[in-house]
Amino acid sequence: MAIKSILFLTGDYVEDYEIMVPFQALQMVGYQVDVVCPDKKSGETIRTSVHDFEGDQTYSEKRGHNFTLNATFSDVNPDDYTGLLIPGGRAPEYIRLNERVLEIARLFSEADKPIAAICHGLQLLAAAGVLKGKSCTAYPACAPEVNLSGGTYVETPIDGVHVDGNLVSAPAWPAHPQWLAAFLDVLGTKIEL
């Protein structure tokens, strides 16, 4: 593994923008980015979904792209990674039922490594029990889970970000510029213009 590497935990029906944009942006600034899904291997695909805000009471969902995994879940060693990223969509809801997924999240938290989670990604961190005593934001429908897990939900504009120590959270993909910039800052990455 590269010294500067990020692990993505995800699965089918991850939010398209929330996997594609960080995957490309983090590589652009020099990170090795490994994307894994429980029970899948490098070279296999996951399906994405596009969530949009069109004036309804909640987001709409449309079929996105196929995303090719570039690492194998069963090979993951958290010690090999600088940070963890958990995109949203529907994937966090069901991959949090996998005990190894929860264990990986706990190991990153216990090691005080940077963790970036967006939208429904906070569901996974809540299930892992790593939000206790932390403040974060998430898609607003996830607020009860954040609070019930011992965390403190912070209401943030849809394009906002919240940072608590090494935890960088955002409510949805419109926050990408602020969320990714904050994650890079927590990672100690400096970009000079």
Question: Whose structure tokens read 């995303």?
Answer: 67
Backbone angles phi, psi at 130, to 5 degrees: -100, 5
Residues 81 and 187: their CA atoms lie apart, in Å, by 11
Q: What contacts 99, CB < 8 A, 6 or more positions away? A: none
Please tell me which residue in 37, 51, 119, 176 is annotated as part of the active site.
Answer: 119
Please tell me which residue in 120, 136, 142, 176 is annotated as part of the active site.
Answer: 120
Q: What percent helix, strand, coil does the chain show, rounded to 5?
A: 35, 25, 40
CA distances, 149 to each of 49, 75, 134 (Å): 27, 29, 10
Would you call 51 a catalytic residue per the annotation?
no
Residue type, 57: Q
Would you call 136 a catalytic residue per the annotation?
no
Residue (of 76, 9, 85, 88) closest to 48 by Cα position: 88
H helices of 111-167, in order, are 121-128, 143-148
**Catalytic residue numbers?**
119-120
